[in-house]
Amino acid sequence: MEENSAYLAFLDIWHQAMWYLFLGAAALTVILVLSYWIRYASAGSLKAKFDLASRSETKTYLNANYVIAAGIVFIVNTTYQDVISLSPMWVFIRVFIGLCFGTLHGYIAYLIFKYYYPGPLDKKLKRLRYTPRINPSNGNTMKLLSEDEEDAYLDEGMQAEEDAFSVDYDVWIDEATGETKIEKYKGHLNALECDRCGFQTLKLQREEILRQPTNTQDGEILKEYKCSYCGRIKRKTQNLSTNVDKERDLSTGKLIADPLSHDNRLDLIKIEIQGTNGEKKLFEFQNLKQAQNFLKEFDFDKLKEEM
């Protein structure tokens, strides 16, 4: 009787703790989502909303779903109290079932935000980026310049960043007054910031293996970067393991074939890159020249995220 009384007392504490943890998880979920919505609503400009959504929206919603998954585990562990009171074995069974449900929710949420949500988010970001801007000084609607037109309003460093595909600039102009607004966005490829000129135009130019790796010792590779704007040369060495060396042989080849030919009917060009793991990346360009230059510059190592 004493053992049974102690077990029932433990269950009361357990159920109460699970309820408090569930309520905490529910509150944390609301806080995460609501705080993001408040920050988004108060961001002000469309550019600020774009930056916040591209940086934090997927991460916030995914974290909120992970908290929901934990809440599912907690709430499941408050059910079937009459059955659980019969034997401690049922406690472990219920915990296992709760973990299964929580893990399932978390995994489904991961798949949704990893593979489905990028599509709707991309549409949202395009709407934020290409919605006509309003000149705050007079209320006039501004016009987005084309890639060829905007070069007249970008300095040489900005143009070099666009040529490196590390940064993309949008230039909006008030045609009535000539006032312009320049917005900066991340480009398709990675480039380091040059420590001399400050532009994101430092790109990998050459690699040289200084020491081949062995079974017992890592090798060493020299990487040489060059700034396409100011000409700065920067070199650094990195360790090179046997596995990394093998992977590089498979993944560092550049795209040489250019399937595009001149066609005046082209309005928008989309290039889809598919990695060996099946993940796809889609890039869009406003004209043929941009797409051709991108293919010349393309390297798997320059992608912002691993494929």
Written as six digits, the tokens of 306 are: 């691993």
Q: What is the pLDDT of residue 2?
A: 60
Sign of CA pseudo-dihedral 191, 194, 200, 202:
negative
Enter the tokens of residue 92.
């472990």
At 105, list the tokens: 């929710």
Asked if 281 and 272 count as a contact pair (C-beta separation under 8 A), the reply is yes
User: Which of 15-19, 173-177, 291-295 is least confident?
Assistant: 291-295
Compute the mean pLDDT over every residue in the chain, rounded to the nearest whole number: 82
**Residues contacting 275, CB < 8 A, separation 6+:** 281, 300, 307
Question: Residue 257 has what pLDDT?
Answer: 44
* C-alpha Rg value of the chain to the nearest Å: 27
Res 300: pLDDT: 59
Amino acid identity of residue 130, one-letter, is Y
What's the pTM value of the predicted model, to 2 decimals? 0.68
Residue 202 DSSP code: E
**What's the pLDDT at 262?**
47
pLDDT at 189 > cutoff 80: no
Q: Which residues contact 299 (CB under 8 A, 6 or more apart)?
A: 189, 204, 252, 254
User: pLDDT tens across 203-228, in order?
Assistant: 777 888 888 888 778 888 888 888 87
DSSP H/E element including 85: none
Q: Is the pLDDT of residue 104 over 80?
A: yes
- Give me the mean pLDDT over the 91-111 stretch: 96
Q: Is the pLDDT of residue 291 over 50?
A: yes
Alpha helix stretches (DSSP H) within 112-241: 118-130, 147-150, 156-163
Q: 252-261: per-residue pLDDT in tens?
A: 444 444 444 4
Burial 103-116 (b: 16+ CB within 10 A, else e): eebbeebeeebeee
